[in-house]
Structure 1
Amino acid sequence: MSDVVPSPVQRLIDATNAGDTAAFLAVFTEDGAVDDWGRTFRGVDAITGWSDAEFIGKQVTLDITTADVSGQVTTIVAQVGGNGFNGPSTFGFTTAGDRVSLMTITG
């Protein structure tokens, strides 16, 4: 799938699957945000707290099953594994240059 998914999104997925919080955070723009079902976490401190409690801290893994790129927005469906939610989920990623400005979890 990496031939379809833009580089910043692939780096975020790779960092997630490696459990590498520093690499995960480095993919976001300075004012980047995560929108997790309407709960928004903006900036490195807020994203770190969210990730520690609900994402990388839960050893989340993402196995992309479909990807669609439309301009700066990439939508993926991934099989989520780890020690929290498990099952298919939909993620949206808005890119800005070589980084992600917004990661949205919607389903």
Structure 2
Amino acid sequence: MMSEAVHPAVNRALRAANAHDTEAFLDSFTADGYVDDWGRVFTGREAIKGWSDREFIGVEVTLDVTDVTSAGDTTTVAAQVGGKGFNGPSHFAFTVDGDRVRGMKITG
């Protein structure tokens, strides 16, 4: 489920994750971008890559988007997560800065 409500930067990040394209996923973030995975924060390209290699794209994540809400510079995506790591429902709050993702916060 993708719609016009999804910011283009968020769309790029989601598509890259589902395509298992680490470089495109990393390119969707600002230089000082971060991932907050249930309170564990990974800031900058190398830290995000290490996290993703272990726990996201590296375990062949799939994100089946079920709902999208937007408020200000934040787009929250509800998704059914699949792959060889965590499986189940999750929420991803993307904070956008211009044409890139500044932050992706993962919660339940």
- Tell me which residue corresponds to 1:44: 45
Q: For each residue in 1:73-96, what CA deviation from the matched residue of structure 2 results, as whole angstroms up to 9, or x when unmatched?
A: 001110101001111101100000
Q: CA deviation at 1:3?
A: 1.8
Alignment match, 1:105:
106
- Contiguous gaps of at least 5 residues in structure 2: none
Q: Distance in 2 between matches of 1:80 and 1:3?
A: 22
Give the aligned length: 107
The TM-score, its normalising length taken from structure 1, stands at 0.98
| Contact map agreement 1:62 1:81 (CA 8 A) in 2 | yes
Partner residue, 2:72: 71
Instruction: Write out per-residue CA displacement over residues 42-93 of structure 1, whole angstroms, 9 at most, x where no aligned residue.
Output: 0011000000000000100111100001010001110101001111101100
Q: Which runs of 4+ in 1 moved over 4 A?
A: none
Root-mean-square deviation over aligned CA pairs = 0.6
* Shift of residue 2, structure 1, vs aligned partner: 2.8
| In 2, Cα distance between equivalents of 1:15 and 1:3 | 18
Q: So what's the TM-score if we normalise by structure 2?
A: 0.97
Query: Which AA in structure 2 matches 1:32?
Result: G
Provide the identity percentage: 61
Structure 1: tracts of 5 or more residues without a match: none
